[in-house]
Structure 1
Amino acid sequence: MTQTTTPMTPNPELSRTPVTPTRRAPNDLRSMRRRRVGLYAGGAAAYLITFLIILPILWIALLSLEPSRTILSDPFSLRSLTFDNYRDVVASLPLVQMYKNTIIVAVASVTIGAVVSFMASFALTRMVFRRRAAQFSVRFYFLAGLAVPVYVLLFPIYRIDLALGIFGTYAALILPYIAVSIPFNTLLLTGFLREFPAELEEAAIMDGAGLFRVCWSVVLPTMRPVIATVLIFNVVYVFNEFPFVSILINDPNLATVSLAVSRFQGQYTVNYGGMMAAATLVLLPQLAIYALFQRHVIAGLTAGAVKG
């Protein structure tokens, strides 16, 4: 038994209706053009700002390759580029000892400052104060440190170091660095902990976790971007800090890398080439840190800014 199939014929009414392409409204086209122009303008502004930020670094690197006699007379000359300035820096400065001193001070001050800042931030955002004004006063006391200039603290800290007998030691730098870093660290950490869901901590407490366990296993793993941002900013600050180390350290064997640039400035003469070369060597580790951890810095600065 065979089964015959009849071919399907198209509906003549459907075939007669032409298919017209959809046209966008004039307002939609204008909004798309404005959006495209805004994107191009934003991209151009971002490239311009990036160029303006990188220009001084490139200028320092270029001047470090010129002799000191041509930096003032003809700084745009590219005919006499040399590496003699870097040879002078390596020969005249104990760079290895300077980097060692800087790393020791940075590790001690950044670690202690981050721990103290985390404990203070956790207490301000999680502990229940009997009076609301007391909590606000403590938080204001920490953040008020951001408004105090460093130069105002030089003489009091100098007198305190003399009284404690730690003048000219690592502790003379570590303690001020810890105190200076706490206000900025507290500002970032409290901003994140305010948006951190307290239900996770409550669930851990109901499971029998103590306060230390909650902080170590629940809170800290989620705060990695902010903690990384705090550590990076503090390390860069220690590398760049000059007023404290120039006043509180009188032993050349304890000098940090921030003093390397000042070694090429005498009472009557200035070795501009050596100064630029030393500044470039000081900038290289900081640029490497930013290049490696810029993702964590951006994530840490934006953490807690938008409610999920």
Structure 2
Amino acid sequence: MAAVLVAAPFVGLYPVFMMKVMCFALFACAFNLLLGFGGLLSFGHAMFFGSAGYVTAHAAKVWGLTPELAILLGVAAATVLGWIAGKLAIRREGIYLTMITLALAQMVYFFALQAPFTGGEDGIQAVPRGRLLGLIDLSQPLAMYFFVLAIFLGGFLLIYRIIHSPYGQVLKAIRENEPRTTSLGYDTAKFKHRAFVLSAAIAGLAGGTKALVFQLASLTDVHWSMSGEVVLMTLVGGLGTIFGPVIGAAIMVGMQNYLAQLGAWVTIVQGIIFVVVVLLFRRGIVGEIGAAIKKSL
């Protein structure tokens, strides 16, 4: 995967398109950590993605911070929001937890719509990319591309390590059978809350990076439809797989980009593909491939 992404801009793939794929792939991987390995369905993950984008954009444009500090500030904001949302959401289970996350996300959306520093419906525009560490000019497309690539691979490896750590094994046990995990002496509420915070932080990393790539933080990133899109990406690629969210994000972003001339029909096409995947590939694309070759992907 790393080799393909490094070679992508040199074989004719548009760098901005690939950067968008990587941002959404990292977002989907963060969501998959919570749902695919923790069994916690959030319909409000856009609040972490979008809020980090707003904080990053504001810090870079108004406060003049360097890109790495602006993104870190966005991640910190998403982490705090994830800590609060997690504390409230894990008090309930199933559909009730899901609806709590959706309600919290809508609160964040209306805050972004009304707050004076967010720019309302216009968002925060013309966000400067700045110089990485004060040295590398990120206004150059190739420099920005490899900066985003480094962030994506770092986030992906972090998730990979979390999944394969003792903590990750307990998280899977909670997903499979929470009462039995509790009987083994694990504080499942604490584990679920940590998963919420970790997922929110990595989603915030993706959101902050996207704000710099497109030099824009907008209401689209905190809208409930963004939370729905990341669910689609994860399910299409393969829930509970390592590479599934990456493939799912590439497919969804690719459809939005290359089928743009269809206008509103893009949503119809996405819906049809989602239905086909759910009916024919219950494990998702990567999940079915992994099952066929009997290897965890």
Q: When the two structures are superposed, what TM-score results if normalisation uses the length of structure 1? A: 0.27
* Higher RCO (CA 8 Å, separation ≥ 6 residues): 2
Larger radius of gyration: 1
